[in-house]
């Protein structure tokens, strides 16, 4: 469970929010506070007031995997293998176990052929897949994606969805500008001006957004 109480941080103002579903989509206009909310929920930023609890603990006590919109800013190592292995190495996992786990997560992400490459030689979409593999390799309890799918072709975005769904994370907080992706979530938060304007199942939230640009294209076509 994710529990937010009296949260105030910059423009964020969320008095009370309890999220118990696994896949939570965070959507809304630019500047609405989505990244700020994800940063606070991930423990990257301490809230100015109020509290966030993930699985009953403060975010700093939870294994959180983070994938940002610009992997160039977060990828630390020059080789793909080293990047994906880094969190296991930081925890001093045995080398054979690390090797097995890195290869397994690369397999799920469809990137075994990238393991020997230099990060600087990858395309933007390949970097996103590497960042996702690095975030998933240590079995995060909570997986947070901040518009990680924004520069991906449809096939790569589909692969990202598969890796995310196959992760063992209890919660996936996924900020996306793809309303079709958000429509596949269990629960949707629509953020505007730092507040949660709409919350509920995709049906509940998107029915309130039918006249706006925040309505899934696939729903317009197929429903």
Closer Cβ to ligand ATP, 37 or 106, answer by number:
37
Segment near ligand ATP (CB under 6 A); pick from 28-36, 76-84, 148-156, 206-214: 28-36
Is 11 among the residues that bind ligand ATP (CB under 6 A)?
A: yes
Contact pattern for ligand ATP over residues 34 through 73, marking x by CB under 6 A: xxx-------------------------------------
Closer Cβ to ligand ATP, 11 or 218, answer by number:
11
**Matching residue, tokens 């925890």:** 91
Closer Cβ to ligand ATP, 165 or 193, answer by number:
193
Question: For the purposes of burial, counting CB atoms within 10 Å of the CB of 78, is it exposed (0-12), middle (13-18) or buried (19 or more)?
Answer: exposed
State which of positions 147-166 bind ligand ATP (CB under 6 A): none
Identify which of 211, 203, 195 has the alpha carbon closest to the alpha carbon of residue 29.
195
**Least separation in angstroms between CB 172 and ligand ATP:** 17
Segment near ligand ATP (CB under 6 A); pick from 26-34, 107-115, 164-172, 195-203: 26-34
Contacts of residue 218, Cβ cutoff 8 Å, sequence gap at least 6: 180, 183
d(CA 95, CA 75): 21
Segment near ligand ATP (CB under 6 A); pick from 23-31, 105-113, 126-134, 137-145: 23-31
Segment near ligand ATP (CB under 6 A); pick from 32-40, 58-66, 89-97, 136-144: 32-40
d(CA 43, CA 52): 9
Segment near ligand ATP (CB under 6 A); pick from 31-39, 86-94, 119-127, 201-209: 31-39
DSSP for 40-105, written as a single string: HHHTSS--SEEEEEETTB-GGGS-EEEE-S-GGGT---SBHHHHHHHHHHHTT--HHHHHHHHHHH
CA-CA-CA-CA torsion for 207, 209, 214, 215, nearest 10 degrees? 30
Contacts of residue 58, Cβ cutoff 8 Å, sequence gap at least 6: 43, 51, 52
Is 31 among the residues that bind ligand ATP (CB under 6 A)?
A: yes
**Least separation in angstroms between CB 80 and ligand ATP:** 27
**Least separation in angstroms between CB 74 and ligand ATP:** 16
Asked if residues 147 and 158 have their Cβ atoms less than 8 Å apart, the reply is: no
Q: Which residues bind ligand ATP (CB under 6 A)?
A: 10-11, 28, 30-36
């Amino acid at each position: 469970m994710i529990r937010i109480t009296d949260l105030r941080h910059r423009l964020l103002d969320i008095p009370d929010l309890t999220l118990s579903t696994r896949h939570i989509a965070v959507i809304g206009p630019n500047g609405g506070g989505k990244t700020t909310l994800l940063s606070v929920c991930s423990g990257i930023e301490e809230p100015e007031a109020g509290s966030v609890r993930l699985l009953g603990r403060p975010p700093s006590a939870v294994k959180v995997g983070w994938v940002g919109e610009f992997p160039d800013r977060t990828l630390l190592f020059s080789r793909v293998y080293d990047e994906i292995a880094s969190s296991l190495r930081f925890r001093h996992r045995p080398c054979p176990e690390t090797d097995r786990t890195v290869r397994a997560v690369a397999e799920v992400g469809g990137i075994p052929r990238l393991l020997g490459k230099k990060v600087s030689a990858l395309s933007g979409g390949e970097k996103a897949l590497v960042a996702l593999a690095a975030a998933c390799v240590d079995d995060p309890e909570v997986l947070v994606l901040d518009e990680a799918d924004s520069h991906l072709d449809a096939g790569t975005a589909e692969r990202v969805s598969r890796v995310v769904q196959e992760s063992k994370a209890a919660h996936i907080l996924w900020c996306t500008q793809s309303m079709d992706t958000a429509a596949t979530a269990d629960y949707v938060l629509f953020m505007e001006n730092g507040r949660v304007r709409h919350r509920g199942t995709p049906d509940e939230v998107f029915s309130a957004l039918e006249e706006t640009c925040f309505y899934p294209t696939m729903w317009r076509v197929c429903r």
